[in-house]
Amino acid sequence: MTENRPVDAMNPSAESYSPELDALLAAAARPAPEDPRARERALTAFRAAREEGAFRSPARPEDDWRPGEKRGRRPFKVVLGAFTASVALGGAALAAGVVPEPFGRGEDPAPAVGSAAGLPSPGAGTGLPPRASSAAPSGAPGAGESSRAPDGRPLQAEDQEARCRAYESVEGRGRALDSAAWQQLQQAAGGPDEVAEYCGELLHGSGSGRGSAAATAGPAVPEPQETAQPGEPVRDDGRDGGGGTGDSAVDGGGRESAGRSGGS
């Protein structure tokens, strides 16, 4: 607040512009006289906001001025974390059937386990019956997604779980996520600070909705037990136990029937 502060603000190691400019800047930075009425208005507004409970409003992106969250100045570690998390989220979403598969799954309902979905699968793929194609629409990219959850839950919930699992797998760095998935999580949770709790509740809170199997294999895996896909990106040990509960069995059943329909 001293009058020569702007002079200090000039990098002293750099050549100074001029003493005249320093004087000008010092004058410009001199605190303006205060209007007590304006101050009172601000305080009144503060009290009103407090009455309304406005202080509990969630932070928007433009409200976050914490160091390290400045736009364009993210530390490398955070960028890396965000990238990793994006990949993980994308993978989880793909596995859960959120993202349309680019391999024409509808035409070939029985890809080999653990191989790329589009590769020919001699054993299971023999003589594709009309039934397979009649089953295809529900599995076709972008079609009937809401109907695909075998246990009747809307798939949206599964999507959210997949995102939550990804979120937890990158715990601590999740905040830095810029992905659409992170945005959706935030929205659903009601703010960036609520995501951890929201996900904890979703994944571990209620009894149902465990379904880690949802994030594992495609719909046409012949053996329902085969839950541990090599490419599964967000699986972690804590969730393996969960995979054994009823939900995964239901999921497995769904897949099994799909497999059967492909094989018959």
Residues that bind other proteins (CB under 8 A): 1, 5-6, 8-12, 14-21, 23-32, 34-35, 38-39, 41-43, 45-50, 54-60, 62-67, 70-73
> Tokens 């503060």 — which residue?
46
Tell me how far, at minimum, the Cβ of 179 lies from other proteins, in Å: 20
- Burial of 71-80, coded b for 16+ CB within 10 Å and e otherwise, reads eeebeeebee
Measured distance CA(241)–CA(210) in Å, rounded: 10
Tell me how far, at minimum, the Cβ of 191 lies from other proteins, in Å: 10
- Please give the DSSP secondary-structure letter assigned to residue 149: -
> Tokens 């929205």 — which residue?
187
Tell me how far, at minimum, the Cβ of 223 lies from other proteins, in Å: 49
Residue 15 or 237: the one with the smaller Cβ distance to other proteins is: 15
Question: If phi over 0 gives left and psi between -120 and 50 gives alpha, with beta otherwise, what is residue 72?
Answer: left
Contact 228, 196 (CB under 8 A): no
Residue 29 or 87: the one with the smaller Cβ distance to other proteins is: 29
Tell me how far, at minimum, the Cβ of 57 lies from other proteins, in Å: 5
State both tokens at 16.
């100074």
Reference 103, options 115, 90, 118, 114; nearest CA is 118
Residue 20 or 237: the one with the smaller Cβ distance to other proteins is: 20
Residue 58 or 205: the one with the smaller Cβ distance to other proteins is: 58
From residue 53, how far is each of 56, 154, 156 by CA, in Å?
Answer: 6, 34, 32
Reference 220, options 83, 89, 128; nearest CA is 128
Residue 8 or 223: the one with the smaller Cβ distance to other proteins is: 8
State both tokens at 250.
């239901």
Tell me how far, at minimum, the Cβ of 42 lies from other proteins, in Å: 4
Tell me how far, at minimum, the Cβ of 201 lies from other proteins, in Å: 23
Residue 2 or 133: the one with the smaller Cβ distance to other proteins is: 2
